[in-house]
Amino acid sequence: MKIVDATFLQSAQSIADSPDPNVAEVAFLGRSNVGKSSLLNTLTNRKGLAKSSSTPGKTQLINYFNIKFKTSNEEMPYLFARFVDLPGFGYAKVSKGLKKDWNRNLTNYLEQRPCLQIFVHLIDSRHPSLDIDKNVDEFLSSIKRGDQIIIHAFTKTDKLKQNDLAKLKREYPNGIFISNLKKKGMDSLQNAITEHLFG
């Protein structure tokens, strides 16, 4: 299965102003600057689709994208999903009030969205066991419904030495190891996503 089209649908501050939950969603979440927006662009092969930046805190809203997959089934040639780019965790340079709202809107989305099927938790491969990521994992495990899965995607693997990458892969046998820079791991990630959504 291949992504043949990806378009921006809308931004939302919270669930209240989000699109109708009538299409399966895949949420990309993780620390600020970990590479969420870049990953969306690489996966969909659309450079400027999601706004990425070297300044943390770039993505400040819930951003919805329509994704169209081409299947090998002539009777159902296309399947559809939404990818959701989320604001990063752990970004300090916003006011406390805004931060609280962000977190509430974000956790509401993660906990309450009925069509949310996959959490893609992005983790910087250079810092794989930070407390904030462990806390996020605990939270996700505590809210996960039976129809949902969590995928751990380790990002920026181009910054690791081969030895260190091999060690990380042994430590996290179920992880998916990606590099936007080198376009690595995209097939594995896409297969894991389509397998759960449509398999």
Site for Mg ion in 23-42 (CB under 5 A): 36-37
Site string for Mg ion, 42-81 (x = CB under 5 A): ----------------xx----------------------
Site for ligand GTP in 143-182 (CB under 6 A): 155-156, 158-159, 179-181
* C-alpha–C-alpha distance, residues 157 and 181, integer Å: 9
Phi, psi of 195 (to 5 degrees): -60, -45
What is the SS3 assignment for 40?
helix
Q: Which residues contact 79 (CB under 8 A, 6 or more apart)?
A: 1, 68, 69, 71, 194, 197, 198
Piece of 14-22, 49-57, 136-144, 188-196 that binds ligand GTP (CB under 6 A): 49-57
Instruction: Report, in Å, the least distance between residue 12 CB and ligand GTP.
Output: 15
Give the C-alpha distances (Å, rounded to integers) separating 106 from 22, 60, 148: 19, 10, 17
Regarding 18 and contact with ligand GTP (CB under 6 A), the answer is: no
Nearer to Mg ion, 45 or 73 (CB): 45
Residue with the closest Cβ to ligand GTP? Answer: 88
**Run of H or E including 157:** none
Nearer to ligand GTP, 52 or 194 (CB): 52
Nearer to Mg ion, 58 or 152 (CB): 58
Rounded to 10 deg, the angle between the 36-44 and 186-198 helix axes is: 80
**CB-count burial class (<10 Å; 0-12, 13-18, 19+) for 119:** buried
Regarding 63 and contact with ligand GTP (CB under 6 A), the answer is: no
> Which residues here bind ligand GTP, judged by CB under 6 A?
32-38, 52-54, 56-59, 87-88, 155-156, 158-159, 179-181
